């Protein structure tokens, strides 16, 4: 135990130190956030940082610097840009063909992050898929990316965790190598080592292309196939974080264009491609991927309890929430594209006894809390932070209406979140932005509002509230549809698809 802890501490120091070397400003901000310290105040943005943030990586080194701090920042970001360009230009190896297969599939999932260190839609989806495969009798395992969770400043006393029967391994090391080639070799060698321990017959990884760069090399060494699961669109997620006035320049940037090319290369090189939504599937088919190589693997639910009772006990733990006659809200990462400001503004058009409950945390929370204060809605909007997986179902059940007010962007039109389906599985009415991905993930069993219109969102919520005052909202057809969207059904799809490789 102590050896593992010392190893983790050593790796954490080297990983965080390396991040400081690449970007001291952002690393310090992340550390303050992790430690619960204030990160308020707008940072002074140098020309080097602006170029880096909008993806002009090769231009960082030529950015103007007018003082010593900007010179230091330019030098750091130059190193970071060189590393990013290394990944963006690294070849992705074509999947080996199946050889000497005994018939017993032993998949190893290669993940960006995992529970218990990170709780997100990504890690929840991973865990439920792994649980379902394990339940189906598949000897499945998982390993996280090289250096995780040390890279997020988290220490661990063991490189292996068994959770709900699923074994998670860490691709950990005593220290992080400083060169790009050294880090890539370290990641590949560590993955090969863990794959051999698992006796893997196939490697299964997820977006983004960084995983594909490492996994494709490991698969080549092991001489086993690898598959690619597309859960989102890296370049669109990145673009959503760029300031609107710089978005067009970012869309034409080196980072954006090379990221798209690397994602295409990953799809083409993999033996099989899973996609999270029909929208993404249609797009990549249009870009030339063979239809027989692709399989839809949608978000899903584990438990269906349409007639579940609302949780009144948990409401009493939140100050002033007991004053609400109806509670609308969400369980979500608090990031800008989720459109939670639309939810907050909608309260202006709803009765005073309708409150909003927001479960989760994220970078956009300070801005939203300030908005609540400006609108004088402190008694009606309740931020309760991130909650552990063990209690999250009860927070869903505190809601009378579940709201998904996502903004109208390509990312939100194509990527399907888990949260709306989980609300449906508990019989909670859903009001969502009228976007293709949200119609897909809710099966049409929701009310749909004009995206980014707080007034229309309020109108749809009010319709649901008024209906629920007189009778329980009809959920006819919903249970049958949800049965086609279970993790067990997804496990069967994966097993069937693997046999076809």
- For the chain, which ranges sit under pLDDT 50? none
Q: Are residues 335 and 296 in the same domain?
A: no
Q: Are residues 222 and 129 in the same domain?
A: yes
Determine if residue 137 is left, alpha or beta; phi over 0 gives left, psi from -120 to 50 gives alpha, anything else beta.
Answer: left
Instruction: Assign residue 245 the CATH number of its domain.
Output: 3.40.50.2000
| Whole-number pLDDT of residue 43 | 58
Please state the pTM of the whole predicted model.
0.90
247-269 confidence digits (pLDDT tens): 999 999 999 999 999 999 999 99
Which secondary structure element, helix H or strand E, spans residue 459, and what is its range? helix 454-470
Exposure string for 97-114, b = 16+ CB within 10 A, e = fewer: eeeeeeeebbbbbbbbbb
Q: In this structure, what token pair is assigned to residue 290?
A: 């063979």
Give residue 303's Cα distance to chain centre.
21
Torsion of CA 353, 354, 360, 366, to 10 degrees: -80
d(CA 82, CA 305): 51
Please indicate, yes or no, if residue 274 is contained in any of the structural domains. yes
Q: Are residues 247 and 368 in the same domain?
A: no
| Whole-number pLDDT of residue 42 | 53
Please indicate, yes or no, if residue 13 is contained in any of the structural domains. no
Backbone angles phi, psi at 331, to 5 degrees: -120, 110
Please indicate, yes or no, if residue 94 is contained in any of the structural domains. no
d(CA 392, CA 355): 19
Q: Which domain holds residue 189?
A: 107-300+489-499
| Whole-number pLDDT of residue 364 | 93
Q: What is the CA radius of gyration of the chain?
A: 23
Q: Are 312 and 400 spatial neighbours (Cβ–Cβ below 8 Å)?
A: no
| Whole-number pLDDT of residue 90 | 97
Please indicate, yes or no, if residue 370 is contained in any of the structural domains. yes
305-358 confidence digits (pLDDT tens): 888 888 888 999 999 999 999 999 999 999 999 999 999 999 999 999 999 999
Please indicate, yes or no, if residue 39 is contained in any of the structural domains. no
């Amino acid at each position: 135990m102590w050896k593992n802890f010392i190893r983790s501490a050593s790796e954490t120091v080297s990983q965080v130190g390396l991040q400081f070397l690449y970007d001291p400003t952002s690393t310090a901000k992340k550390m303050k956030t992790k430690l619960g310290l204030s990160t308020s105040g707008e940072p002074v943005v140098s020309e080097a940082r602006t170029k880096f943030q909008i993806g002009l990586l090769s231009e960082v080194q030529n950015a103007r610097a007018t003082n010593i701090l900007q010179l230091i920042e330019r030098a750091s970001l130059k190193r970071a840009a060189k590393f990013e360009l290394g990944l963006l230009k690294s070849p992705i190896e074509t999947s080996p063909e199946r050889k000497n297969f005994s018939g017993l599939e032993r998949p190893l999932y290669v993940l960006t992050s995992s529970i218990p260190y990170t709780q997100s839609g990504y890690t929840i989806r991973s865990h439920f898929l792994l649980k379902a495969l394990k339940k189906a009798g598949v000897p499945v395992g998982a390993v996280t990316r090289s250096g995780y969770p040390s890279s997020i400043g988290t220490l661990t006393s063991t490189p292996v965790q068994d959770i709900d029967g699923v074994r998670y391994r860490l691709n950990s090391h005593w220290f992080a190598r400083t060169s790009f080639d050294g880090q890539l070799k370290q990641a590949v060698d560590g993955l090969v080592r863990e794959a051999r321990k698992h006796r893997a017959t196939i490697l299964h990884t997820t977006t983004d292309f960084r995983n594909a760069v490492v996994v494709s090399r490991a698969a080549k060494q092991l001489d086993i196939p690898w598959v690619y699961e597309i859960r989102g669109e890296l370049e669109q997620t990145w673009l959503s974080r760029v300031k609107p006035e710089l978005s067009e320049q970012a869309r034409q940037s080196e980072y954006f264009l090379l990221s798209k090319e690397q994602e295409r290369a990953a799809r083409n090189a993999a033996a099989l491609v899973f996609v999270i939504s029909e929208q993404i599937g249609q797009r990549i088919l249009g870009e030339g991927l063979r239809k027989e190589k692709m399989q839809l693997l949608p978000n899903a639910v584990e438990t269906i309890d349409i007639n579940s009772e609302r949780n009144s006990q948990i409401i009493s733990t939140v100050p002033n929430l007991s004053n609400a006659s109806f509670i609308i809200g969400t369980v979500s990462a608090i990031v800008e594209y989720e459109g939670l400001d639309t939810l907050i503004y909608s309260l202006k058009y709803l009765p005073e006894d309708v409150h909003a409950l927001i479960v989760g945390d994220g970078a956009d929370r300070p801005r939203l809390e300030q908005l609540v204060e400006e609108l004088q809605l402190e008694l009606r909007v309740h931020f309760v932070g991130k909650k552990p997986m063990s209690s999250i179902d009860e927070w869903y059940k505190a809601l009378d209406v579940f709201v998904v007010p996502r903004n109208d962007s390509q990312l939100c039109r194509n990527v399907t979140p888990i949260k709306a389906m989980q609300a449906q599985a508990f019989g909670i009415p859903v009001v969502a932005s009228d976007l293709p991905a949200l119609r897909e993930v809710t099966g049409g069993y929701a009310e749909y509002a004009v995206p980014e219109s707080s007034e229309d969102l309020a109108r749809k919520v009010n319709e649901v509230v008024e209906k629920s005052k007189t009778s329980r909202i009809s959920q006819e057809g919903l249970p049958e549809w949800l049965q086609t969207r279970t993790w067990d059904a997804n496990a069967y799809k994966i097993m069937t698809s693997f046999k076809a490789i």
